[in-house]
Amino acid sequence: MQQFYANESVFQVLFITLVLGGGCALLAGRAIALTWRSIWIAAVAMIPMGLAVRFVHFALFNETLWQPQTYLLETLLLMAISCLAFQRTRAWQMVKQYYWLYEPSGPLGWRLRQDAPSNS
């Protein structure tokens, strides 16, 4: 961990990256899903979010601003959180919006109801 974060404790890294950055990624993924956009938008939106998290590490704890490995790690983590929040929200949307057609299938999915009307 010293090679990635020289001036920070584990608590500081987890707080900035997971609590602040992860919370923003969660809210962004949810908001993007609520506007019926693609999951790719949720993933791409985390690229500048990763830069923002990197800047907070730099501004508060005197870390190096541009560390490619750390930026990549943090951005991938933010993308994962954002995409999970997106998928959870999309599953909730599909079940709520089309209640006569779909039912929940786990926390991240939906499936066709057994009693759904058929096209034939």
Tens of pLDDT, residue by residue over 78-118, are: 999 999 999 999 999 999 999 999 999 999 999 999 887 77
Is 1 part of a structural domain of the chain? Answer: no
Q: How many domains does the chain have?
A: 1
Question: Span 28-45, mean pLDDT?
Answer: 97
Residues ≥6 apart with Cβ < 8 Å to 12? 5, 61
- For 83, the domain range is 10-112
Report which secondary-structure segment, H or E, holds 115. Answer: none
Residues ≥6 apart with Cβ < 8 Å to 20? 53, 56
Is 117 part of a structural domain of the chain? Answer: no
Is 14 part of a structural domain of the chain? Answer: yes
Is 3 part of a structural domain of the chain? Answer: no
Residue % of the chain over a pLDDT of 70: 96
**Residue matched to tokens 């920070």:** 8
Confidence tier at 2 by pLDDT (50, 70, 90): low
* pLDDT at site 6: 72
Is 84 part of a structural domain of the chain? Answer: yes
Is 78 part of a structural domain of the chain? Answer: yes
Is 120 part of a structural domain of the chain? Answer: no
Is 54 part of a structural domain of the chain? Answer: yes
* pLDDT at site 21: 96
CB burial class (10 A; 0-12, 13-18, 19+) of residue 79? Answer: buried
Confidence tier at 120 by pLDDT (50, 70, 90): low
* pLDDT at site 3: 66
Confidence tier at 1 by pLDDT (50, 70, 90): low
